[in-house]
Amino acid sequence: MEQARGRITAILEDRIIVEVDTASFCSRCSTGKGCGAGLLGADRGSRQVDVPLPDHARFDEGDEVTLELAPQSLLRAALIVYGGPLLAVAVVSLAAFLLGWSDLVSVAVMLAAAVLGVTVGRWRLRRANCLKQFTPVIGGHPGTVR
C-alpha cells in the first residue's frame, strides 16, 4: 500500500476531514491486483477519512495532503485481516487431521472457519478503540512542521 493523497473537505476543532479516492492511491488496487484488504470493507470510489489535526500546522479547505499509516500499525492491521482467518483455518485443519474427518467435512469446516475469521476481523476493525490504532496522520503538506 502506498501513501494516499487526498483533499481536505472540512476543518473541525480537533480533526480534519480528507476525501481520498481509494482506488487511485494504490497502483495495484487500481489495476485489480491489490492485496485483498478491500474485501474487508473498503469501499471503492471516494472515501472521507477523519484525521487528527496536527499541532503547529495550518490547513485550508481544498488543500491536498498525503496520509500515512505507521508501519507497525500496518503490520497489526495485516495480522487482523489475514492472521485471524489463517489461524482459524490452521487450527481447524489440525483438528480435522487429528480427528480423522473425511476430506469433504474437513474442507467444509475449514471454509466455515475462514468465513468466521474474516467476520471476526471485520468486527474487530470496526470497533472504535481498534480504529484509533489505525488512524492515518498527515505526512505531507506545505504547512506541516515535522
pLDDT tens for each residue of 42-82? 455 677 888 888 777 788 899 998 888 777 787 888 888 89
99 contacts: CB under 8 Å, gap ≥ 6: none
> How many C-beta atoms lie closer than 10 Å to residue 106's C-beta?
17
- Close Cβ partners of 74 (under 8 Å, ≥ 6 residues apart): 1
Q: Could you tell me the CA-to-CA distances from 58 to 11, 16, 63, 119, 146 in Å, in that order? A: 10, 11, 10, 40, 13
Contacts of 91 (CB under 8 A, 6+ apart): 113
User: 67, 138 in Cβ contact below 8 A?
Assistant: yes
The pLDDT of residue 106 = 94
> Which pLDDT band holds residue 127 (cuts at 50, 70, 90)?
confident
d(CA 138, CA 144): 8
Q: State pTM to two decimals.
A: 0.56
Coil, helix or strand at residue 106: helix
**Could you identify the residue written with the cell 489475514?**
82
